[in-house]
Amino acid sequence: MRSTGKSGDGRYHFRSVKRPSDLLYKLYEDRLVRSLDPTRLPRHLGIVLDGHRRYARQEGLPSYTDSYRAGMRRFEEFLGWAEELSIPAVTAWVLSRENLARPREELDPYFDVLIELFGRLPDICERYDMSIRFIGSLDLLPDDVVAAAKAAEAARPDGRHRLNIAMGYGGRQEIVDAVRDLIGELAAKGIPPEEMPNHIDADALAQHMYSADLPDPDLLIRTSGESRLSGFLLWQSAYAEFVFVDVYWPAFRRVDFLRAIRDFSRRERRFGR
């Protein structure tokens, strides 16, 4: 892409410039797709969209808003890549509980960009036959962000595939919420407190996780070069495979995605055995 400068609306506009490397990457991507065994693809893919601010600094962008918008556009492309491989479920972590401690001058532009994304999501997910669900502590978020999320969710309640968006999400908090829900359920059934421990086990807790109707994720991808999950899907990732990619999320390419899928498909999964 080549910048053509700012227009009257203050935005940067780009036009495509075909390079020899573009064709080579396309040929390589097509080869990667053909090499994948469809029986060894993930049923549930988790992805951490990390590195927006570092990308802005690296690229010398005028503001974080530019990198946030680039990242959300890349997310829309990513959904197409996942649909191309018929991956049944995707959980994308767009905002952690810890992120909410950042300064308002960083958070407010990001919230604005998320609201823009949520306005586009129903049409995108209709194209890919995806339902939308938001998970996390939405009560910690601004009202306009929650309203946009709920509207997107209501517009796509059903679909052949599932898109989860984790927002205000923390893996430890999800487990705490599951325990609370389970205890509340046992109390509603009239189980005496002294007998409740006999009804609490891994299977019972799993039924109270945010996405209990989905299989545990097979593959978790994190961009930006960080080799940790920071609590993402903490309970569900016990036997997941991890891929850590060096590039920042706005620069994450289809070829990076396909390489991660290829890597996953070649692994021998042992599930702790």
Question: So which residues are the catalytic ones?
Answer: 50, 99
Distant-in-sequence, close-in-space partners of 106: CB < 8 Å, separation ≥ 6: 53, 64
Contact 233, 46 (CB under 8 A): yes
Outline where DSSP puts E strands in 36-160: 44-48, 89-96, 130-135
Give the span between the Cα atoms of 240 and 234, in whole angstroms.
10
- Residue 172: how many CB atoms within 10 A of its CB? 11
Pairing of strands 12-15, 130-135: unpaired
| DSSP category for residue 7 | -
Radius of gyration of the chain (CA): 20
Q: Give the residue among 254, 265, 266 at the shortest CA–CA distance from 26.
A: 254
Q: Give the residue among 41, 31, 35 at the shortest CA–CA distance from 264.
A: 41
